[in-house]
Amino acid sequence: MLLVVEQFLNGLQFGLLLFLLAAGLTLVFGIMDLVNLAHGSLYMMGAYFAATFAAWTGSFLLGSLLALGATLVLGIVLEMSALRHLYGRDHLDHVLATFGLILFFNEAVRLIWGPAGLALPLPAWLTVPVPILPGIHYPAYRLAIIVVALLVALLLYLGVMRTRIGMLIRAGASNREMIGALGINIKLLYTLVFGLGAALAGLAGLMQAPILTVQIGMGENILILAFVIIVIGGIGSIRGAFLAAIFVGMIDTLGRAFLPNLLRQVLSGAAASTAAPALSSMLIYLLMAIVLVVRPEGLFPANRR
Amino acid sequence: MKAFTVSKAVTALMLAGLVLLPLYSQLSGNIFILTLFTRVVILALAAASLNLMMGYGGMMSFGHAAYLGIGGYAVGMLAQEGIGSGFIQFPVALAASALYALVIGALSLRTRGVYFIMITLAFAQMAYYVASGLARYGGDDGLTVYKRSDFSGLINLGNRTQFYYLCLACLFGVVFLIWRIVNSRFGLVVQGLRSNEQRMQAIGFPAKRYQLVCFVISGMMCGLAGALLANNTDFISPAVMYWTRSGDLMVMVILGGMGTLFGPVMGAVVYLLLEEFLSQLTEYWALIMGPLLLLIVLFGRGGIMGLLGRLNRG
């Protein structure tokens, strides 16, 4: 029981983190039609900035806030210097150019911070276990991630659905030329959206940092999960990204936690322990394959015509 | 069509260079260059196979490194189990690649555009994790291939020069095959599907079936490259399938010129030599390589072949 609740919350926490990453990716794709592989690099930069700023200021919260701002600025600079020139080009061009950016970021990090990973220690008040149900404790920091990510998801929803900028963003997603013709500064809007996506990726990175080590290439594996999520959820759809992210986070976490035991009931011990790690890492890809067979456009496609 | 063009001359020069390379290596005593170029030739083969899909078929596979791994693991696993004959290892490598391509292709071809790019990427990453989970075959650490494929006296893969020529023969064979495919009825249909799938379907061609066959052929060719690669390094690990390798292959194709017969070969030669040169220059070579890629994408339309073609007209 304890394990089930704990793993369930871990899955939720991982899913929400994936959502932060996938939301930026899907926003940028839905509005600028840009495939950004370097999104994972922004996630990595968020974590590195947080580790550095937290060490400088001596405060986890202050360091995180500074890191968030730094990732936002980095995203804006990146958009204005390089990615802006890619709008309207072939998707293949996007893939290659942003692939080049990944090489650049990984190497730059190695040059600046060195090849060894960094650690981002948590303040004491975040490390205590919190009782959530009678007899069940859960780490405060992981709970904090869930709360922050849910808040951000809510703000994002309200921002996109209820504010003027959100209206422009949605209008830009459905018809780029038209809102340009209506006198909206589309360049500025694009830069803003990209910066927002970068900040979301940075937030995911800095929140994940204390749980894992901060290291080069940390953004790449999780980026591919984010891709799987937006394919399952339907490209360009934030709602789809949210549901798919929770789904993928749950399946991945629960699969890794319980699949070995389940397999052991069916197969012999040796066979189960060889098959389990491979199978549990395959689970989400199998899920994606099933979704593709049933709904090639994803579960919640953005432009339903 | 002009009899002499700059791109033809450069291609001929490059091919002659590749054929004569062992001679140079022998005369100058530079063994390293032969090892380097064996790798170049093998990856050129992989790039050529990707070009068949991307350049002619219009299918942007971002997961081609998976076949390198599958071909390599076929050789490595069989060798581990005591089956050293190349006459078994290579056909198994090809069959395994074909099977994987068939399943992945059937699923991926349900989508198009950017979905297709992401799906092929995700499936290759799945293959990567599966290989990492193979505890019996080294898992994350990979698998050493203690004995190269044995072709019972026909050709000795342990001999550098013989192995190089085997790889080169495979490359030329595959490029020739691609040339024949591209100019066949089948190839024309696939290219027609690239330009306008709807129209081709309206004429009555079963689009997906043609594309799937192209997908499988391309995968098998890359599987061959994987089997050679495992023999070249005497080692196979999941890292071969890592997604950055798929990206490298894509870059080679684009750099050389997508949809040209020899472009990917030239792209592989230039990319790998550039990587080698930059890594000797500085430890942080990717710091230069990354922005260089960005510039190539932004300004270098049509890759090296396109550039040579423009030289000719200018």
Q: What is the pLDDT of residue A127?
A: 82
Least confident of A73-87, A217-231, A275-289, B271-285: A275-289
What stretch of H or E contains B311? helix B303-313
Confidence of residue A13 (pLDDT cuts 50, 70, 90): very high
Which two tokens mark B5? 């063009």
Q: Cβ of B20 under 8 Å from any chain A Cβ?
A: no
CB A45 within 8 A of CB A203: no
Contact A100 B284 (CB under 8 A): no
Confidence of residue A101 (pLDDT cuts 50, 70, 90): very high
Mean pLDDT value of segment B286-299: 84
Chain A with chain B: Cβ pairs closer than 8 A = 129
What residue of B is the nearest CA neighbor of A281?
B129
Query: Testing the interface with B: which of A104, A216, A220 to mutate, by most B Cβ within 10 A?
Result: A104
Least confident of A104-118, B165-179, B253-267, B296-310: B296-310
Q: What is the pLDDT of residue B64?
A: 94
ipTM summary value:
0.83
Q: What is the pLDDT of residue A139?
A: 87
- pLDDT (tens digit, 9 = 90+) per residue, B207-219? 999 999 999 999 9
Rounded to whole angstroms, the Cα distance separating A45 from A204 reads 11
Least confident of A122-136, B142-156, B170-184: A122-136
Q: What is the pLDDT of residue A277?
A: 72
- pLDDT (tens digit, 9 = 90+) per residue, B7-51? 888 999 999 999 999 999 889 888 889 999 999 999 999 999 999
- pLDDT (tens digit, 9 = 90+) per residue, A102-149? 989 999 999 999 988 888 888 888 888 888 777 778 888 999 999 999
Of B115, B284, B294, the CB nearest to A231: B115
Calculate how close chain B gets to A239, using CA atoms only, in Å. 18
Mean pLDDT value of segment B93-115: 92
Confidence of residue B262 (pLDDT cuts 50, 70, 90): very high
Rounded to whole angstroms, the Cα distance separating B28 from A275 reads 51
* Phi, psi torsion values for A17, nearest 5 degrees: -65, -45
Name the pTM for this structure: 0.88
What residue of A is the nearest CA neighbor of B55?
A92
Confidence of residue A302 (pLDDT cuts 50, 70, 90): low
Closest CA to A248 of A4, A40, A12, A39: A12
How many CB atoms are closer than 10 A to CB B118? Answer: 25
- pLDDT (tens digit, 9 = 90+) per residue, A142-178? 999 999 999 999 999 898 888 998 888 888 877 878 8
CB B170 within 8 A of CB B38: no
Calculate how close chain A gets to B108, using CA atoms only, in Å. 8
Q: What is the pLDDT of residue A303?
A: 56
Up-side HSE of residue B142: CA atoms within 13 Å toward CB?
A: 18
Q: What is the pLDDT of residue B209?
A: 94
**CB neighbour list of residue B164: distance below 8 Å, 6 or more residues apart:** B21, B22, B34, B37, B38, B41
Contact B293 A97 (CB under 8 A): yes
- Share of residues in chain B with pLDDT > 70 (%): 98
Let me know if B15 is exposed, middle or buried by CB neighbors in 10 A (0-12, 13-18, 19+).
Answer: middle
Rounded to whole angstroms, the Cα distance separating B285 from B261 reads 29
Calculate how close chain A gets to B177, using CA atoms only, in Å. 26
Calculate how close chain A gets to B84, using CA atoms only, in Å. 25
Q: Which residues of A210-241 are buried (b: 16+ CB within 10 A; e: fewer)?
A: beeebbbbbbbebbbbbbbbbbbbbbbbbebb
Q: What is the pLDDT of residue A305?
A: 36
Confidence of residue A6 (pLDDT cuts 50, 70, 90): confident
Per-residue three-class SS string for chain A: CHHHHHHHHHHHHHHHHHHHHHHHHHHHHHHHCCCCCCHHHHHHHHHHHHHHHHHHHCCHHHHHHHHHHHHHHHHHHHHHHCHHHHCCCCHHHHHHHHHHHHHHHHHHHHHHHCCCCECCCCCHHHCCEEEEECCEEEEHHHHHHHHHHHHHHHHHHHHHHHCHHHHHHHHHHHCHHHHHHCCCCHHHHHHHHHHHHHHHHHHHHHHHCCCCCECCCHHHHHHHHHHHHHHHHCCCCHHHHHHHHHHHHHHHHHHHHHHHHHHHHHCCHHHHHHHHHHHHHHHHHHHHHHHHHHCCCCCCCCCCC
Rounded to whole angstroms, the Cα distance separating B266 from B70 reads 25
Residue A304 scores a pLDDT above 70: no
Mean pLDDT value of segment B111-120: 84
Query: Testing the interface with A: which of B115, B281, B284, B292 to mutate, by most A Cβ within 10 A?
Result: B115
Confidence of residue B314 (pLDDT cuts 50, 70, 90): low
